[in-house]
Structures are given as structure tokens and as C-alpha cells.
A = this chain, B = another copy of it.
Amino acid sequence: MTAQSDEAGRVVRGRATLKDVAHRAGVSVPTVSRVIAGNYPVATATRRRVEKALRELDYVANTHARALRGHGARTVAFVLNDVRGPSFAQVAHGIEEEASRRGRLCLVCVSGGDPGRELDAVHAMRQQGAEAVILIGGVKDDEPYRRQMSAIAQSLDQSGSRLVLCGRPSLGESVPATVVQYDNEEGAYAITGRLLAAGHRRVLLFGGDAALTTTAQRIAGYRRALKDFGAAFDDSLIEKAAFDRGKAYVAMRERLGRARDFTAVFALTDAVAAGALRALTEAGLAVPEDVSLVGFDDVPPAEDLRPRLTTVHVPYEEMGRAAVRLALDRREGTTTGAEQRIVLGTHVVVRDSVARPPTVG
């Protein structure tokens, strides 16, 4: 069974093709094709012979030939910064589940947050004729980016594919893309509100790559909450630190070394919260007794922090599923042109990391 050969005894190198199978079964190529497709009458005896040959030669169809002939390749493609980030991983999972439910294969690329690599990836996916190209996560939303992305959206739309922006801002209503968002600003507003309602007035906004769109939105929610609760906005309470755990740890340690001029910390992501928590605890500060702490994302590790982290739940997995669903349904509807947008809700998950501020003196 291992060394395959046709009826003449010749060993077939590489994959067996329809021709090989036809040869061996003593029929023509289209007949084999029909047996496989099963959508056309074939005499039972013939079918049996063909099926036997198919098995004996271990035939596997060539997707490329199929894609070339007919309805393209049934694949969905996505690009993300890093699969190791729990939030990205959740989106990826949602995409994969929904795609495979619909009989699609997934193409994946990591960009490491580099716009250039992202563009390369999109290009490769375009070559593959992916039915949808999903871009995941915040971006530096500048002019070149918008221009290039809009052009890509146009091209994809033109060729019957679809650009999906997932957790990333719209490019404008006239750009033919699907946008899947979550109410980032509202989530930040709600969780800042929790802190303020507990009596905190000096809330350190901590971490976050200032260039990213998601950061800006979260900061906006924070500021709006401050205003609504009548708390003063203090620029010195915006602490710029990188968007990762390790940098957050270092940054918090430094900040604590200078002064502790806050009673609560709003970490812009759960990962940043983890780093901050570590620094806080090591400095002998109890959370939440001395300092309250909240995060954003509600990724699984948030529940394992001590204390369990109060944070904002973002429906990452559902975003991934929605991205695939919208893009694919739209394609079938052959509607064309305009933007399509959906905004998913977020909500605060109350756990153990928030308390009233310590009474002074």
C-alpha cells in the first residue's frame, strides 16, 4: 500500500492525480471527478472500480487546481500581533471555530505589531485568494495607515474578498470593510466609575502604548468618568509604560520609588495589571487595602492573580466569531460597497481588587 503504482506497475511519484486514478480504474478523468463529487449519475460497477482505485492510490484532491477552476479557495485569513497574548489567542480561537464550522481553513500570520509585516501578510493572503482578511488589534492610526488600508479594502472588495477590522477603528463609512468593535471607551468609563464610586479621587492611569487606538479610547473613557464624578484630571496621573507585563512591573517600581500619590490604579490591560500588582505587593502595599487595582480585558490569568482582579470583560472570542460570520454571510449576499459595522458590549467583572481608599491619618 505504501509504494503506489498504476496498473502498468509504474511507481507514481508525488501525489496521485485524477489521471492516475482514471488510468488505474480504466475510465476517463471526468468520470473519476464525478464519482468524487457524487453529484452526477455513475454506473454502480464503474463507481466501485473508481472507488477502489481512489483508495489504492491514496488519492487526495489538489485544492489549488480546484481553486483555480472554480470558486476560489475556501479560506479565511487573519493577522495578529502575537498568538501568545491571551486576548489575541481568544480572538484567534473564535475565528478558527467559526471558520471550521463553515468548512473553511485558516491562514494565520503574526506581525509582531509591525505595520510593515502586517502589510506583507495581507499581501500574501490576497495572493491566496482568502475569502476574508481579518486584522486583529489596535493600531497606530496615522495617515499612511489609513490610506494604505483603504486601498486594500477596495482591492479586496473588488476581488470578491473582504477586509475585516477587528478591535480596530473604522476607516470611514465609504470604505468597503467590516468593522468589529467593542465599546472600549464605555468599558473604561464603567470601571473608572467603580473606582470613583468607591471613593477614590486619585486614580493612576497606568500602562498603554500611547500611539495605539485602543489606548486613546480607554483614556477617553477614564477622563469622561473623572468629569462625571467631579474628580480633577491630573496629567501627572497618566503614567506611560509599555504595553506589557515586564515593563509595567519596572515602571510601577520606579513610580513607587518616587512617590505614592494615588490610591487606585487603572491598568490599561490585565497583563499590565499583573506587572503592577507584583511591584505593589513587593513594595509592601496591600491590594486592595492600601491601593485598589483594576485591569482591562478579563483574560484567564486575571482570575489567578491575588487578589483576583476586578476588570472589564471584552468578548474577544465572540469578536473572532463575528468577524468570520459577518464577512462570509456578506459575501454570499453579494452586497457590495459600503462599510458594515458591529459593536459588541463590555461589562465590568467585579472581583477582589477594589476597596475604599484607606482613611487618611
Using a CB–CB distance below 8 Å, which chain A residues touch chain B? 1-2, 4, 14-15, 58, 60-65, 67-68, 73, 82-84, 86, 89-90, 92-93, 96-97, 100, 105-110, 117, 123-129, 151, 154-155, 158-160, 245, 274, 277-278, 281, 300-301, 304-306
Contacts and interface: CB of A to CB of B under 8 A. Distances in A.
Given A60-B127, A96-B109, A107-B107, 20 more contacts: A1-B151, A15-B158, A60-B123, A62-B129, A63-B64, A63-B129, A64-B65, A64-B67, A65-B68, A83-B89, A84-B90, A84-B93, A86-B86, A89-B89, A96-B108, A96-B110, A105-B128, A107-B108, A304-B304, A306-B306
Nearest to A65: B68
A109 B109 CA distance: 13
A284 B245 CA distance: 29
Contact of A158 (B14, B84, B97): B14
Contacts of A110: 93, 96-97, 100
Given A106-B107, A109-B100, A63 B14 contact: no
A154 B4 CA distance: 11
A52 B88 CA distance: 39
Contacts of A301: 300-301, 304
A109 to B, nearest CB: 7
B155 A60 contact: yes
Q: How many subunits of this chain does the assembly comprise?
A: 2
A79 to B, nearest CB: 11
A53 B129 CA distance: 21
Nearest to A61: B127
A154 B2 contact: yes
Contact of A305 (B67, B89, B160, B304): B304
A84 B73 contact: no
Nearest to A91: B83
A4 B2 CA distance: 50
Contact of A108 (B14, B68, B108): B108
A245 B158 CA distance: 46
A250 to B, nearest CB: 14
A129 B83 contact: no
A320 B82 CA distance: 14
A107 B58 CA distance: 22
